[in-house]
Amino acid sequence: MDVVIIFNGLGNQMSQYAFYLQKKQISSTTRFLFSKKSYKIHNGYELENVFGIRYQDSLVNKLLYFIYQIVNYKKLSFISKPIIAIFNFLGIAIITEGDDYNFKQEYLQPSKGIKFYVGGWHSEKYFGNIKDLVLNTFQFNEEKIGAKNVDALTEIKKNLSVSVHVRRGDFLDSNNYNKFGAVCTLNYFVEAIKKMKTLTKEPHFFFFTNDVEWVKNNFNQPDFTVVNINTANDSWKDMFLISNCSHHINSNGSFSWWSSWLNKKKNKIVIVPKNFMVDKYFEDVYPETWIKLSDY
């Protein structure tokens, strides 16, 4: 049995669930578990609120989660190591995605015993051959969008719209900046906008950000609009709006990734930073058709 662990924010949960859907096609016994630790630092299990994907906290899932916690326990190694060794002998183990984020075919193979899969699984290659299933699964409920977002959507559809997703906030924390935050610099966005203007005719740029003041201070032109409507549990509505834009300029995060990927337009242009992490280029994180800008 393969068990995919769902954790972190919405974008990560979507990648993990798409990975689960692919593995479910390969082995019908595949399950997914939600890590309750995500309630502490994110908005909890978001897939149900956004896409209606229910999580069954059944007796079997509770038992599996209890086993997962034991196998994942790192403290008191003089106690935990022998117990984990016994579980491993019985075929129960954790498979952790490599640090390079690259696609590995072996992760899609069915496992013997019980294997808990922990990772981001952000490469399209993990679910590219079930693209229609993923798109049908991640359908937004437009009845929940609200009047202000409907107005924003009208403006987006009136223009040759380009979304610009500027993620700062948690990326500026000391724990994240040297890993993620220093990738999408001011120069990156300036160069990406220049590039987009050479590829499109009279684009209008719609900025989505968790740092409105920074964007307003650095991008203040007639063809720029800051969309400042959705926060906290409503942040997913930004993903809906972004996915309805014609083209995209992304930050280096899974929220940006999915917002652009869900855009079904065949001629969409997506510009991304070449490095997903500081000084690290991962071959499989972005679809081949997306334009990768080098560091600035």
- CB burial of residue 175 (10 Å; 0-12, 13-18, 19+): exposed
Q: How far apart are CA 275 and CA 3, in angstroms?
A: 30
Q: Which two tokens stand for residue 58?
A: 């059944």
Compute the mean pLDDT over every residue in the chain, rounded to the nearest whole number: 90
Provide mean pLDDT across the span 214-236.
94
Helix (H, G, I), strand (E, B) or coil at 274: coil
Q: How far apart are CA 134 and CA 261, in angstroms?
A: 11
Residue pLDDT, tens place only, 266-296: 999 999 998 887 777 788 999 999 999 985 5
Enter the pTM of the model. Answer: 0.92
Instruction: Provide the β-strand partners of residue 210.
Output: none
The pLDDT confidence band at residue 181, using thresholds 50, 70 and 90, is very low
Provide mean pLDDT across the span 83-100.
87
pLDDT of 63 higher than 90? yes
Residue pLDDT, tens place only, 97-124: 987 888 999 999 999 999 999 999 999 9
The pLDDT confidence band at residue 177, using thresholds 50, 70 and 90, is very low
Q: How far apart are the first and last CA of the chain?
A: 45
